[in-house]
Homo-oligomer: A and B are copies of this chain.
Amino acid sequence: MKRVKVAIAGATGYGGVELVRTLSAHPGVELAYLSSESYAGKDISEVYPHLPPGLPTLQALDPQAAAQAGEVVFLGLPHGKAVEHAPRLLAAGCRVFDLSGDFRLKDAAAYPQWYGWEHQAPKLLAEAAYGLPELHRDDIRTARLVACAGCYCTGSLLVLAPALRAGLISPEGIILDAKSGVSGAGRTSLKLDFHYPEANEDLCAYKVAGHQHTPEIEQEASLLAGSPVRLTFTPHLAPMTRGILVTAYGRLTREVDTAGALEVYRDFYRGEQFVRVLTDTLPHTRSVAGSNYAHISVRVDRRTGTLVMLGAVCNLGKGQALQAVQCLNLALGLPEETAIAQPAYYP
């Protein structure tokens, strides 16, 4: 297999390190450039001794150097930083896979509202493919810029998609109650909330009625429903390292039992190797941790006319780095599972 040269900007965040782990074993990739502001000059295997030695030395991000080194550039930078660098990388002819939220929203006006800053490259928003292969496979194949789907969004959209597409639930009144492991908070910014004695043995909601992933989910949910969707999204922090569990509630538009609803889901995901619809059991985050798989199931609550939709993904795997590699595989014309077929580590 010919190896494509890949640069990773932001290689020592949790997303970056998952990219390094995965791409260093990818038969179609040669890791050619790794940037890190905190650890410039070091070998990444000193910072993360689980990684193999011999990878390119970490260096402070120089977009020009990244573009020269890599035909493909992954951006694992904090929100607001990717938008600074992507235009130049694209201009230099690179294909760019961005893990941040900087190019996920089609409506530039949503950035000041939800992220608090003006978007400096609004034209790229139209061009960017939304990096959730099960929903946008064709776009991803040919895009110069892939805005890889966020972790909460991946879980939420995979859970909602079949029901919305089939009109099984109303576009109104959807509730998304999402629970994330703490690695979703990243590694760089140490906050008291994520200090072990505070986060351990604790459960809490945060950013209620205001999380910046809300418009991203609504944008894609509206596409699926064919009409505008407004929903309530509540993220929670759970005392575990990895995993997102989404419990979604929708108002059924017609009589259906659990078996019938499951059929709709199985139909939708037929042929999708990374989405598994569970019939007799319910999704567990442990069963997908560290992997690119999503487990989905649904139950009908007939007493209230509610469809309860449940999904588990790994926030750093299918919810981030491994899905980005899935997008890369599509873009390179490789088998979609290249380097990301491994199941979760269990237990």
Contacts and interface: CB of A to CB of B under 8 A. Distances in A.
Interface of A: 14, 17-18, 21, 25, 46, 48-52, 173, 175, 177, 179, 181-183, 185, 187, 190-192, 194-206, 208-209, 230-232, 234, 236, 238-243, 245, 247, 249, 251, 276, 278, 280-291, 293, 295, 299-304, 306, 308, 310, 312, 341-347
A245 B204 contact: yes
A274 to B, nearest CB: 11
Given A50-B287, A206-B282, A183 B247 contact: no
Contacts of A18: 345
A322 to B, nearest CB: 10
Given A194-B196, A249-B175, A290-B345, A308 B209 contact: yes
B191 A190 contact: yes
B241 A347 contact: yes
B346 A50 contact: yes
A204 B283 CA distance: 6
Given A209-B301, A236-B179, A240-B239, A285 B196 contact: no
A168 to B, nearest CB: 16
A144 B300 CA distance: 40
A234 B247 CA distance: 9
B345 A303 contact: no
